[in-house]
Chains A and B, each alone.
Chain A
Amino acid sequence: EDKVVQSPLSLVVHEGDTVTLNCSYEVTNFRSLLWYKQEKKAPTFLFMLTSSGIEKKSGRLSSILDKKELSSILNITATQTGDSAIYLCAVAEFNKFYFGSGTKLNVKP
Protein backbone atom coordinates (compact mmCIF):
# COMPACT_ATOMS: atom_id res chain seq x y z
CA GLU A 1 0.00 0.00 0.00
CA ASP A 2 1.18 3.52 -0.79
CA LYS A 3 2.21 5.45 2.27
CA VAL A 4 2.59 8.77 0.45
CA VAL A 5 0.10 9.84 -2.19
CA GLN A 6 0.50 12.95 -4.28
CA SER A 7 -2.08 14.70 -6.39
CA PRO A 8 -2.57 15.63 -9.07
CA LEU A 9 -0.23 13.35 -11.00
CA SER A 10 0.31 16.02 -13.60
CA LEU A 11 -0.64 19.62 -14.14
CA VAL A 12 -0.38 22.06 -17.02
CA VAL A 13 -0.64 25.77 -16.30
CA HIS A 14 0.38 29.06 -17.88
CA GLU A 15 2.96 31.47 -16.61
CA GLY A 16 1.59 33.62 -13.84
CA ASP A 17 -0.86 31.03 -12.57
CA THR A 18 -0.87 29.83 -8.97
CA VAL A 19 -0.72 26.10 -8.33
CA THR A 20 -1.32 23.93 -5.29
CA LEU A 21 0.18 20.48 -5.05
CA ASN A 22 -1.09 17.97 -2.52
CA CYS A 23 0.56 15.27 -0.48
CA SER A 24 -1.15 12.90 1.93
CA TYR A 25 0.60 10.30 4.02
CA GLU A 26 0.06 7.44 6.38
CA VAL A 27 3.03 6.39 8.50
CA THR A 28 3.29 5.13 12.04
CA ASN A 29 6.14 7.20 13.42
CA PHE A 30 6.04 10.51 11.57
CA ARG A 31 9.22 12.50 11.84
CA SER A 32 9.15 15.06 9.03
CA LEU A 33 7.77 15.79 5.58
CA LEU A 34 10.03 17.01 2.83
CA TRP A 35 9.38 18.57 -0.56
CA TYR A 36 11.82 18.19 -3.46
CA LYS A 37 11.96 19.50 -7.02
CA GLN A 38 13.32 17.09 -9.64
CA GLU A 39 14.17 18.46 -13.06
CA LYS A 40 16.58 15.98 -14.57
CA LYS A 41 18.33 13.74 -12.10
CA ALA A 42 19.08 14.98 -8.59
CA PRO A 43 16.03 16.04 -6.57
CA THR A 44 16.61 19.49 -5.11
CA PHE A 45 15.57 20.09 -1.52
CA LEU A 46 12.81 22.70 -1.06
CA PHE A 47 11.33 22.42 2.43
CA MET A 48 11.27 20.26 5.51
CA LEU A 49 8.22 20.43 7.75
CA THR A 50 8.03 18.98 11.23
CA SER A 51 5.74 19.16 14.21
CA SER A 52 7.61 22.25 15.33
CA GLY A 53 7.73 23.87 11.91
CA ILE A 54 4.48 23.39 10.04
CA GLU A 55 4.76 26.31 7.63
CA LYS A 56 7.65 27.32 5.40
CA LYS A 57 8.03 29.98 2.73
CA SER A 58 10.74 30.80 0.26
CA GLY A 59 10.05 33.37 -2.40
CA ARG A 60 7.11 32.23 -4.51
CA LEU A 61 7.01 28.81 -2.87
CA SER A 62 5.31 27.98 0.39
CA SER A 63 4.26 24.82 2.16
CA ILE A 64 2.00 23.90 5.05
CA LEU A 65 1.81 20.71 7.06
CA ASP A 66 -1.55 19.61 8.47
CA LYS A 67 -0.76 16.95 11.05
CA LYS A 68 -4.40 16.43 11.86
CA GLU A 69 -5.28 15.66 8.25
CA LEU A 70 -1.93 13.92 7.61
CA SER A 71 -1.30 16.05 4.58
CA SER A 72 0.71 18.89 3.16
CA ILE A 73 0.35 21.35 0.34
CA LEU A 74 2.98 23.08 -1.76
CA ASN A 75 1.93 26.39 -3.26
CA ILE A 76 3.69 28.11 -6.11
CA THR A 77 2.54 31.60 -6.98
CA ALA A 78 3.23 33.53 -10.20
CA THR A 79 4.56 30.38 -11.87
CA GLN A 80 7.41 30.62 -14.37
CA THR A 81 8.54 28.20 -17.07
CA GLY A 82 11.52 27.38 -14.86
CA ASP A 83 9.12 25.89 -12.33
CA SER A 84 8.42 23.04 -14.76
CA ALA A 85 9.58 19.89 -12.98
CA ILE A 86 8.42 16.92 -10.97
CA TYR A 87 7.66 17.84 -7.38
CA LEU A 88 8.26 15.04 -4.91
CA CYS A 89 6.89 14.71 -1.42
CA ALA A 90 8.71 12.48 1.07
CA VAL A 91 7.83 11.46 4.58
CA ALA A 92 10.48 10.42 7.08
CA GLU A 93 9.52 7.78 9.58
CA PHE A 94 11.94 6.92 12.34
CA ASN A 95 14.59 5.38 10.09
CA LYS A 96 12.82 5.08 6.76
CA PHE A 97 11.74 7.41 4.02
CA TYR A 98 8.75 7.15 1.77
CA PHE A 99 8.39 9.13 -1.44
CA GLY A 100 5.25 9.77 -3.40
CA SER A 101 5.19 9.31 -7.16
CA GLY A 102 5.43 13.02 -7.70
CA THR A 103 3.41 15.70 -9.46
CA LYS A 104 4.63 16.65 -12.91
CA LEU A 105 4.17 20.39 -13.41
CA ASN A 106 4.37 21.89 -16.87
CA VAL A 107 4.31 25.70 -17.01
CA LYS A 108 3.64 27.04 -20.50
CA PRO A 109 4.71 30.51 -21.65
Chain B
Amino acid sequence: DAGVTQSPTHLIKTRGQHVTLRCSPISGHKSVSWYQQVLGQGPQFIFQYYEKEERGRGNFPDRFSARQFPNYSSELNVNALLLGDSALYLCASSLDPGAGYTFGSGTRLTVV
Protein backbone atom coordinates (compact mmCIF):
# COMPACT_ATOMS: atom_id res chain seq x y z
CA ASP B 1 0.00 0.00 0.00
CA ALA B 2 1.21 3.47 -0.80
CA GLY B 3 1.78 5.70 2.17
CA VAL B 4 0.95 9.37 2.35
CA THR B 5 2.30 11.02 -0.79
CA GLN B 6 3.11 14.69 -1.12
CA SER B 7 4.07 16.74 -4.12
CA PRO B 8 6.24 18.40 -5.05
CA THR B 9 9.14 17.26 -2.85
CA HIS B 10 11.02 20.53 -3.25
CA LEU B 11 9.94 23.97 -4.35
CA ILE B 12 11.58 27.37 -4.68
CA LYS B 13 9.37 30.45 -4.84
CA THR B 14 9.88 34.20 -4.77
CA ARG B 15 8.45 36.49 -2.11
CA GLY B 16 4.90 37.54 -2.92
CA GLN B 17 4.15 34.48 -5.03
CA HIS B 18 1.51 31.86 -4.37
CA VAL B 19 2.12 28.15 -3.80
CA THR B 20 -0.05 25.03 -3.82
CA LEU B 21 1.08 21.86 -2.06
CA ARG B 22 -0.66 18.56 -2.59
CA CYS B 23 -1.25 15.51 -0.45
CA SER B 24 -2.74 12.09 -1.14
CA PRO B 25 -3.70 10.20 1.99
CA ILE B 26 -3.41 6.49 2.60
CA SER B 27 -6.28 4.68 0.92
CA GLY B 28 -9.26 4.61 3.28
CA HIS B 29 -8.04 7.50 5.41
CA LYS B 30 -10.58 10.29 5.58
CA SER B 31 -8.75 12.76 7.79
CA VAL B 32 -5.85 14.90 6.63
CA SER B 33 -3.85 17.41 8.62
CA TRP B 34 -1.13 19.87 7.60
CA TYR B 35 1.94 21.02 9.55
CA GLN B 36 4.76 23.47 9.07
CA GLN B 37 8.15 22.44 10.41
CA VAL B 38 10.92 24.99 10.61
CA LEU B 39 14.44 23.64 11.05
CA GLY B 40 15.17 22.76 14.65
CA GLN B 41 11.56 22.93 15.77
CA GLY B 42 8.66 20.54 16.08
CA PRO B 43 5.84 20.59 13.52
CA GLN B 44 3.31 23.39 13.93
CA PHE B 45 -0.32 22.46 13.27
CA ILE B 46 -1.93 24.36 10.41
CA PHE B 47 -5.19 22.60 9.47
CA GLN B 48 -7.18 19.43 10.00
CA TYR B 49 -9.78 18.20 7.53
CA TYR B 50 -12.19 15.34 7.94
CA GLU B 51 -14.78 14.26 5.41
CA LYS B 52 -13.98 17.36 3.32
CA GLU B 53 -14.72 19.79 6.12
CA GLU B 54 -12.27 21.88 8.09
CA ARG B 55 -12.25 20.55 11.63
CA GLY B 56 -9.35 22.44 13.13
CA ARG B 57 -7.11 25.40 12.44
CA GLY B 58 -3.83 26.44 14.03
CA ASN B 59 -2.51 29.96 14.58
CA PHE B 60 -1.59 30.79 11.02
CA PRO B 61 -2.56 33.90 9.04
CA ASP B 62 -5.34 33.94 6.47
CA ARG B 63 -2.70 33.67 3.75
CA PHE B 64 -2.82 29.95 4.52
CA SER B 65 -5.82 28.02 3.26
CA ALA B 66 -6.60 24.41 2.44
CA ARG B 67 -9.26 22.14 1.14
CA GLN B 68 -10.05 18.45 0.94
CA PHE B 69 -11.49 16.84 -2.16
CA PRO B 70 -14.12 14.09 -2.51
CA ASN B 71 -11.33 11.52 -2.92
CA TYR B 72 -9.88 12.80 0.43
CA SER B 73 -6.76 14.26 -1.15
CA SER B 74 -5.91 17.74 0.01
CA GLU B 75 -4.25 20.96 -1.06
CA LEU B 76 -2.54 23.58 1.06
CA ASN B 77 -2.38 27.04 -0.45
CA VAL B 78 -0.18 29.88 0.73
CA ASN B 79 -0.57 33.37 -0.74
CA ALA B 80 1.79 36.34 -0.67
CA LEU B 81 4.76 34.21 0.37
CA LEU B 82 7.18 35.58 2.93
CA LEU B 83 10.75 34.52 3.60
CA GLY B 84 9.53 33.14 6.94
CA ASP B 85 7.29 30.67 5.14
CA SER B 86 10.37 28.68 4.17
CA ALA B 87 9.93 25.33 5.90
CA LEU B 88 9.13 21.66 5.52
CA TYR B 89 5.39 21.25 5.03
CA LEU B 90 4.11 17.92 6.26
CA CYS B 91 0.82 16.25 5.52
CA ALA B 92 -0.54 13.42 7.65
CA SER B 93 -3.55 11.18 7.23
CA SER B 94 -5.65 9.11 9.57
CA LEU B 95 -8.77 6.98 9.49
CA ASP B 96 -10.46 9.57 11.66
CA PRO B 97 -9.40 12.56 13.75
CA GLY B 98 -9.10 10.46 16.89
CA ALA B 99 -6.62 7.94 15.52
CA GLY B 100 -2.87 8.15 15.08
CA TYR B 101 -1.62 10.00 12.02
CA THR B 102 0.79 8.73 9.36
CA PHE B 103 3.01 11.42 7.88
CA GLY B 104 4.20 11.95 4.34
CA SER B 105 7.79 12.89 3.55
CA GLY B 106 6.90 16.53 3.16
CA THR B 107 7.46 19.36 0.72
CA ARG B 108 10.52 21.50 1.30
CA LEU B 109 9.53 25.09 0.42
CA THR B 110 12.19 27.73 0.04
CA VAL B 111 11.13 31.34 -0.40
CA VAL B 112 13.80 33.66 -1.81
| Cα–Cα distance between A42 and B40 once the two chains are bound (Å) | 14
Q: Are B90 and A95 in contact (CB under 8 A)?
A: no
Flag whether A105 is at the interface (Cβ < 8 A).
no
- With a cutoff of 8 Å between Cβ atoms, the chain A residues found around residue B101 in the complex are 34, 45
- With a cutoff of 8 Å between Cβ atoms, the chain A residues found around residue B88 in the complex are 41
Q: Are B103 and A42 in contact (CB under 8 A)?
A: yes
Count of CB-CB pairs between chains A and B under 8 Å: 60
Flag whether A43 is at the interface (Cβ < 8 A).
yes
Q: Are A88 and B106 in contact (CB under 8 A)?
A: no
The segment from A14-22, A60-68, A69-77, A96-104 that touches chain B is A96-104
Q: Are B45 and A34 in contact (CB under 8 A)?
A: no
Q: Are B100 and A48 in contact (CB under 8 A)?
A: yes
- With a cutoff of 8 Å between Cβ atoms, the chain B residues found around residue A88 in the complex are 42-43
Interface size on B, residues (CB 8 A): 27
Assess A99 versus B45: contact at CB under 8 Å? Given A32-B98, A42-B90, A48-B100: yes
Give the interface centre of B45, B97, B104 by most chain A CB atoms within 10 Å: B45
Flag whether A31 is at the interface (Cβ < 8 A).
yes
| Cα–Cα distance between A6 and B43 once the two chains are bound (Å) | 13
User: Considering only CB atoms, which chain A residue lies closest to B44 in the complex?
Assistant: A99
User: Considering only CB atoms, which chain A residue lies closest to B59 in the complex?
Assistant: A96
Across the A-B interface, give the 8 residue pairs with the lowest CB-CB distance, nearest first. Answer: A95-B56, A99-B42, A42-B103, A97-B45, A41-B105, A48-B100, A42-B105, A99-B43
Q: A95-B55, A102-B42 are in contact. List 10 more A-B contacts (CB 8 A).
A: A32-B98, A34-B101, A42-B105, A45-B103, A48-B100, A90-B42, A95-B97, A96-B45, A96-B48, A102-B41
- Chosen A-B contacts, 18 in total, with CB atoms closer than 8 Å, are A34-B100, A34-B101, A36-B103, A41-B106, A42-B4, A42-B106, A43-B90, A45-B102, A45-B103, A90-B42, A92-B98, A94-B56, A95-B97, A96-B56, A96-B57, A97-B48, A99-B45, A102-B42
Residues on B close to A: CB < 8 A?
3-4, 33, 35, 40-45, 48, 55-58, 88, 90, 97-106
